[in-house]
Amino acid sequence: MTISFDAASVSHSRERLVRCQRFAARCGYFLWRMACNPLTAIGGGIVLVLCIVALFAPWIAPYHPLVQDLNNALTPPGAAHWFGTDEFGRDIFSRLVWGACITLYIVLLVSVTVGPLGLLLGVTAGYFGGKVDGVLMRVTDIFISFPSLVLALAFVAALGPGLEHVVIAITLTAWPPIARLARAETLSLRQADFISAVRLQGASPLRVLWKHIIPLCLPSVIIRITMNMAGIILTAAGLGFLGLGAQPPDPEWGAMIASGRTYMLECWWVVTVPGLAILINSLAFNFLGDGLRDLLDPRSE
């Protein structure tokens, strides 16, 4: 049996292998630079732990987060319950683990919706200018003029409590800063020589935006979204604390603080543990965002 080799296919395979090797080398160098910054490494490690806990919550949590045991209500931290129990005897550690799923769900869903929305509006306004820029930026100014938490409260009050409505409300309040950032980046790129050369070659505005402007704006937008994740966590926790987010008995961290505030003087662990979870994860996303800014923004070097 003879085996024939196609020179074109072999060459294509080699090129693909070389691209994969270069991509792996860049990823390794990127991770190495992140590890060189202690705060970035700590933030990335905490975010990684949060993702692992959320993914493997059914196997990590020792108890069911919703099952009540009134005989063990308000039990202090110990061997049986590492972080104690709440007023209904539910294990706080288990509820904290399952609450990571809710927090990560809100953060990821808001990030994947607010990023494309703000990027699209920002590059459109910056590239076309004129009346398009005026209309889009005036709408953006209206949203920015209100505090994000107050505006989110108004949207949730109009839509009704629930996780999906919280995601919609936070998305509607988080896109304006990203849009203004993308617009500023586009304004600096619009008159660049290589963009003028692309136009002279007959490229349409859509092709210029998609192939050249948006890829150059992505690093700044990713950095901004990462740093906004801390605010998303705090806003979601605030809405949950006010009873407008996840509804009882869902183990959302803000709702856990709200239900335990009555017992906080006698049973400190009921509100301290979820409060520390919100604080630590918010700081972790801030540290990670600072590290990504140092790595992805060439102007910081």
Domain range summary for the chain, segments of one domain joined by +: 14-295
Tell me the pLDDT tens digit for each residue of 147-187: 888 888 888 888 888 888 888 889 888 889 899 989 988 88
pLDDT reported for residue 10: 56
* Residue 71 near residue 89, CB atoms below 8 Å: yes
pLDDT reported for residue 198: 79
pLDDT reported for residue 93: 93
- In this structure, which topology does domain 14-295 adopt according to CATH? MetI-like fold (1.10.3720)
Instruction: Please state, in angstroms and rounded to a whole number, the distance separating the CA atoms of residues 45 and 150.
Output: 32
pLDDT reported for residue 276: 94
Hunting for tokens 């959302």 — which residue is that? 252
Q: What is the dihedral of CA 118, 123, 128, 130, to 10 degrees?
A: 50
pLDDT reported for residue 5: 46
pLDDT reported for residue 51: 92
Q: Within the chain, which residues score under 50 in pLDDT?
A: 1-5
pLDDT reported for residue 1: 45
Backbone angles phi and psi of 204, in degrees to 5: -75, 160
